[in-house]
Chain A
């Protein structure tokens, strides 16, 4: 059998396995009598908001003019003041010469609003982006301290790394929020971002250290023998090479960070996970929302891994 055909057979087998797993899940949910309500989900991404206009005073409608897609309703108040209200065409609830009392609705306007899921996605995105950048900086500095000749710098960095890697992130978030948040009077957002950044920093530091140590000693010697000092050799020679080698583990770390950011929902930051929980309390569409939330996380992480793969290809020119 030729290899091309063989490969297609194996691919079909993969699809078959995935399909039967999906079918199994479907049958299982059928048995527990769960009503899927996917139609309830889209409104939590964006929704059409109706804003009802009311008259703030007693009066009488004088004219209703159509201007394009909107209607201009002009009302004469009891004090003989003319005031106009703009509503969408077709939503008018009054006619000319009708007497109105304060608080009567005369029509409404519609606008698109961002729903909780999209808002949560945005919060997760910038929360992870901010803590990634800060975590990278912390990790870079700590990683350099970790390989420095100074004993104090080395010991401090090891101390930091061991403490952070040895305790659960959830506990760290609680400590940041309840202890540091109270002592230093910082907001929940700042507490959340710092907890994530300091957590990521410890792992990034070890990745950076491994990257630096993987560069042959000869590179530093060549740079030094050309008269460069240590910082110059690091910036121009060692770190660019180390960065290239550490990209795959760094990518893994930042993908983890996006997922770990879901833990900040415990200190009431309305990220994607917390938004999901809030939507569930109002829709009871538990299964649908959690699947959607998972898909949104998958979207973020796969975009990130594509970006990193692209950078990796760019840097591969000197291989």
Chain B
């Protein structure tokens, strides 16, 4: 589904060069749930943002469903509608109601009719458990509800892959559960997911595979059982000792 080959992303600024992503080669198969773990500044968010072209890559290749993002002829907008993204800060559109948030891209990008898009939007709101909030503006929702709307908004485009960039990091602790529950349900339905998170419980329970990144490099990868119980790399062991 997604294949990255020797992916590099370098930020240059103020005379400094930062190798945020430094040669990551990974393959995410269809229906797989991949969780990316690593200390902050390890480049995991940057890697994720490269996968739907929010960051332009410095070198290497990303193939999303067979399309190479590094190819200049690739229409990124076409790729992005197949790749849903959920952000740490939700990024709901504050001037639109919850339902409008879900409907807008469907009508503008997918060219669905208003009625069709509204049916789809209501269906998804029911799925994430807040059908009664469709007429509210995002500001009136709690963080957990906002993030669930954001997930529904991404799902409304019928994406083939969902990317989650620390979806629970900006939430109050009591709201983390409701968002993770929605994500677990998605995983059970067979959605291909790439999740950057600090929720070790979620990784252990839901992930098919765990990628551990540090200093822009892919340090260790394997099943959750392998990663949490018998990591090979010293850096991974150290990280696990600190977070668990």
- Which residues of A are in contact with B by a Cβ distance under 8 Å? 216, 218-219, 221-229, 232, 236-237, 240-241, 244, 317-319
Contact = CB atoms under 8 A, between A and B. Distances in A.
Contacts of B110: 227
Interface residues of B, number: 30
B152 to A, nearest CB: 12
B88 to A, nearest CB: 9
Contact of A228 (B77, B95, B96, B97): B77
A241 B83 contact: no
A237 to B, nearest CB: 6
A226 B54 contact: no
B105 interface: yes
| Closest 7 pairs between A and B when the two form their complex, measured CB to CB | A227-B81, A222-B91, A226-B105, A218-B91, A225-B85, A227-B109, A318-B137
Nearest to A233: B108
B87 A218 contact: yes
Given A225-B80, A317-B137, A232 B87 contact: no
B156 to A, nearest CB: 9
Contact of B108 (A219, A224, A225, A236): A236
Interface string B25-65: 00000000000000000000000000010100000000000
Contact of B105 (A218, A221, A227, A244): A227
A229 B109 CA distance: 9
B105 A228 contact: yes
Given A218-B91, A318-B95, A225 B77 contact: no
B153 interface: yes
Contact of B95 (A225, A227, A232, A244): A244
Contacts of B93: 219, 222-223, 237, 241
Interface of B: 52, 54, 77-78, 80-81, 83-85, 87, 89, 91-97, 104-105, 108-110, 137-139, 150, 153-154, 157
A225 B52 contact: yes
Interface of A is mostly: helix
Contact of B104 (A221, A229, A236): A236
B112 to A, nearest CB: 12
B87 A228 contact: no
A311 B139 CA distance: 20
A228 B75 CA distance: 11
Contacts of B96: 318
B54 A241 contact: no
B174 to A, nearest CB: 24
B95 A226 contact: no
Contact of A232 (B78, B85, B89, B109): B109
B166 to A, nearest CB: 13
B136 to A, nearest CB: 10
B94 A225 contact: no
B95 A241 contact: yes
Given A222-B87, A232-B109, 6 more contacts: A221-B85, A225-B84, A225-B85, A226-B153, A227-B110, A228-B109
Contact of B54 (A219, A221, A236, A318): A221
Contacts of A318: 94-97, 137-139
A227 B77 contact: yes
Contact of A226 (B78, B81, B137, B138): B81
A236 B101 CA distance: 11
Contact of B157 (A226, A229, A244, A317): A226
A224 B54 contact: yes
A173 B203 CA distance: 68
Nearest to B104: A236
